[in-house]
Structure formats: C-alpha cells, structure tokens
Structure 1
Amino acid sequence: QLQIEHALDLVGRHLVLFIDAGEQTAAPYVFRQARAAGAGAASPSTHALSPEAVLAVLPRIDHEAPPPAFVLCVRGENFALGEGLSAAASSHADAAFELLQFLCRAAERDVWLTRLSAGE
C-alpha cells in the first residue's frame, strides 16, 4: 500500500511506474498515465493512497512538480488469503512482464505514451 512517505521516492525522478494487481482490471492488464490528484486527495491521516494521491504530495514536500507517472495494473483472479496463482493470473503476469521489459528498455515518457491501453 502506498503511503505519504512514498512521495519522497519520487524526488529527482524523471519517470515513474507504479505496478499493482487489480481484481476488476481488464485482462491481461491496464497501462495508463497517472496525474496528481486535486487538493485534499492526500490527507496526513490517510493510511493507503492511490498513485495519483502520492503524486499530489510531492509538490508539498519538495516544491517540485511530480514526474511523468504511469500505472501498470495486472489483472488478478483470486485475492483470498492462501490462494495460489491461477493459470489465468499467471498468463496476465507474463503479458505484463513483456510490457515491463519494453518499458525498461525505452524509459521515456513519449515512448510510454504510445503504449497506453485503449481508451486512456
């Protein structure tokens, strides 16, 4: 879970990728751009933040604009405690890993924008 303190990890970065798993995510994954949330999105008492809320914290602590950021959300199938990775979830993870390898080789905002999921 993302916390307010994770905004410190963004200081001096030129590009950011948040990776998560989602139960309602389109298969095999969704790759989208993240933008800083509006005022009030990140409260000091919040225990779990969205990537957008973490991006909104950075200007408050470092006085710099957040770097371009993206989210890679991989579809999960079963999040019950003790459940193993299903064949479908494994397939989704493999597809996401292929995209991740591409993103690591081409770590530039404009290149990443060309790979956004449909509808983003």
Structure 2
Amino acid sequence: MSAPVLVFGWGNPSRGDDALGPLFVEAVEAMKLPGIECLTDFQLQVEHALDLRRRSRILFVDASGTARPPFEFQPIAAARDDSFTTHSVSPQSVLQVFEDLEGRPAPPSWLLAIRGDSWELGTAPAPSANANLRAAIAAFTAWLPDL
C-alpha cells in the first residue's frame, strides 16, 4: 500500500552538490513521518509515473544550478516536453505520463529545487549546498502542517 504523500529526490550522490535530492530524502526518512513515502533515483524516468499512483501529494526534490539560493519551491503541473526522449526527464513530463496512463489529473505536486554550485565527480557537497539543504529541510517541516 502506498503512502498518500510521496517525496521523490533524485541526483548522483557521487557528484558533489548533485547529491542534494537524495540527501534531502534521507533527512525526511529519518523523521519517520506517518503517511510519507520516500524514493530516490539517479534521474527521473517515465516509469516513475507508476510511483505516483494512489498519492494525494507529490514533492519532487532536486539540486539546481539555476535556483535562487537557498532553494526554490513551487507547485508544478503536467506538461508535455521533449524531456521524455532525453537522458533527463522533467517532473512535469512524469506528471504528464501519469495523466496519459491513468486518464485523470496527477496529484497536486511541487518541485523543491535546492541550489548547488559544485558538480565534480567524487566530491562531497559544498558547505554552501549543505546550508541550502538545511534551509530546505526546515521549509519542508513548515510545509507539513498543510498536509
């Protein structure tokens, strides 16, 4: 049985700040919050649309080199884009695949883009990225009462 809220983070833990999505999910998992399921992967794929079934809310979490520090948090909607044919699928495209498969609207969804600046292979997240991660986790806990 699926939990009503899905927190889905992606990124490569071996590429510096790209680890922010999985690190965020680790922090949420450690909270052991009822009704929340956490998933991680290296990248989003169209198959992840199946993970959205039986959910009431979705939070997508990723590192971003373009987000304003410390993070950007915004609602997102299903959208057709070319990303489903590329190496990196957008959360909006995953939502669109869900709608195409299920024949109904995707659950309300948000994107949490945590600012990162360093992506070198074999490095740990930068101190600034860790500070941004802490700010994102604090914002998430403030968002929880809205669930």
Match of 1:64 in 2: 104
Q: How many residues align?
A: 105
Residue 106 (1) aligns with residue 115 (2) = no
Partners of 1:53 and 1:92 in 2: CA distance: 26
Among 77, 93, 100, which residue is 1:53 paired with? 93
Question: Hey, which bits of structure 1, 4+ residues long, moved more than 6 A?
Answer: none
Structure exhibiting the larger radius of gyration computed from Cα positions: 1
Structure 1 residue ranges without an equivalent (≥5): 108-120
The within-5 A match list for 1:22-33 is 22-33=64-75
**AA in 1 matched with 2:111:** V
Greater percentage in strand: 2
Residue 9 (1) aligns with residue 41 (2) = no
Normalising by structure 2, what TM-score?
Answer: 0.65
Tell me: CA distance 1:42–1:59, structure 2 relative to 1, closer, same or farther (3 Å): farther
Greater percentage in helix: 2
Highest RCO, 1 vs 2 (Cα 8 Å, sep ≥ 6):
1
**Quick check: 48-57 or 77-86, which moved more?**
77-86
Partners of 1:31 and 1:47 in 2: CA distance: 24
RMSD value, Cα: 1.6
